[in-house]
Amino acid sequence: MKTKNKPFRRIQQAIVYVLFLLSTHCFAAESSVVLLTIDKVKALYDQQKITLVDVRPIMQFKKGHIKGAGSLPTDATFAKDDRSDLVATITEIQELMGKAGVSLDSHVVIYGDKNFLNISRIFWVLETFGVKKVSIMNSFLTEWKALGYPTETGESMVLSTEVFAHIKEEKLATMLMVFTSMKNNDEALIDARSEQEYSGVHSQTTVHGHIPTAVNIPWMSNLTKDFKRFKPISELRVLYKGLDMKKMNTVYCNKGKESAVNYVALRLLGANVRAYDGSWFEWSMKPGLPVSTGQ
């Protein structure tokens, strides 16, 4: 019997190996889209295959930006009323995307200068509102300038686009979704704030602590010590080794910038991930919602 089963076992082993290679290839392809080196961006730029988006405030944009880039300031993506922790309306986001020359079928490459918080936020916003292919230049504008690559000053010269955005529900978590996830073994919560905020030593609101069941992975731990790059995937795997990438992982912070860095890192790792945009500002202001302190 053992002899008869050998060919079958070999076939099984071969299938498993092929599936492993395919999954590895798909993972590598997915990861390579999320982050691009500055040289790769320049090559795509020269081939006119990308739509560049500058996430800095408009005044900084006017002082100098990559030639041909559109402007989509990060702070403009927040709600305009007293709920500044929430993302702007779909109408407002569509207008911002249109002015920046973005379409849902664009290969959008985001860049900024010395601020991956703002860059990551726009990455999440564009994915959440339906842009199919979004990448981050894993460098800053200062490096682009230092290499002598094309820049210009003044207003954006891109042609506006007509955008019909839609919210991808799997990318955006509401307060109710987060509340129910606490008792769902197929979901996990990640708090991207500092250890001091997570434990309750400090808080940007009057309530101290974190959402129960959440694990703490501070946003800065995803970046190199000089904050100039995302860490290599091998290091990110170690950082997130306790998480199940197949579960729905919900990231949150205070108002949606810090958690966006974790969102990008988890996308690099091929995880199912979404962001709770109301974050701690919404959760802590709702009387009766559970709060935990300590590690």
- Which CATH number belongs to the domain containing residue 104 in this structure? 3.40.250.10
- pLDDT tier for residue 21 given thresholds of 50, 70 and 90: very low
Q: Per-residue pLDDT for 291 more than 70?
A: yes
Same domain, 92 and 219: no
Same domain, 77 and 156: yes
Q: Would you state the pLDDT for residue 295? A: 81
For residue 81, the tally of other CB atoms under 10 A from its CB is: 9
Q: Per-residue pLDDT for 22 more than 50?
A: no
Q: Per-residue pLDDT for 3 more than 80?
A: no
Domain end point (choices 123, 142, 167): 167
Q: Would you state the pLDDT for residue 32? A: 59
Q: Would you state the pLDDT for residue 85? A: 86
27-36, 87-96, 140-149, 251-260: range with lowest mean pLDDT = 27-36
Give the total number of structural domains in the chain.
2
Q: Let me know if residue 96 belongs to a domain.
A: yes
Q: Calculate mean pLDDT across residues 58-83.
A: 94
Q: Let me know if residue 65 belongs to a domain.
A: yes
Same domain, 87 and 185: no
Q: Would you state the pLDDT for residue 84? A: 80
pLDDT one-digit tens code per residue, 183-226: 999 999 999 999 999 999 999 999 999 999 999 999 999 999 99
pLDDT one-digit tens code per residue, 97-106: 999 999 999 9
Q: Would you state the pLDDT for residue 80? A: 85
- Mean pLDDT, the chain, rounded, equals 91
Contact 196, 255 (CB under 8 A): no
Six-digit token pair at 223? 């970046």
pLDDT one-digit tens code per residue, 118-156: 999 999 999 999 999 999 999 999 999 999 999 999 999
Same domain, 201 and 251: yes
Q: Would you state the pLDDT for residue 212? A: 97
Q: Per-residue pLDDT for 8 more than 70?
A: no
SS3 137: strand
Model pTM?
0.89
Q: Let me know if residue 41 belongs to a domain.
A: yes
- pLDDT tier for residue 43 given thresholds of 50, 70 and 90: very high
Domain holding 205, by residue range, is: 170-283
Domain end point (choices 167, 188, 220): 167
- List the beta bridge partners of residue 19: none
Q: Would you state the pLDDT for residue 70? A: 98
Domain end point (choices 167, 183, 201): 167
Residue keyed to tokens 């820049």: 151
Q: Please, how many CA atoms are within 13 Å of residue 215, restricted to the half-sphere of its CB?
A: 12
Q: Would you state the pLDDT for residue 19? A: 39
Where do runs of H (alpha helix) occur along the chain? 2-34, 38-46, 58-63, 90-99, 116-128, 141-146, 175-181, 195-199, 233-239, 258-268, 279-283
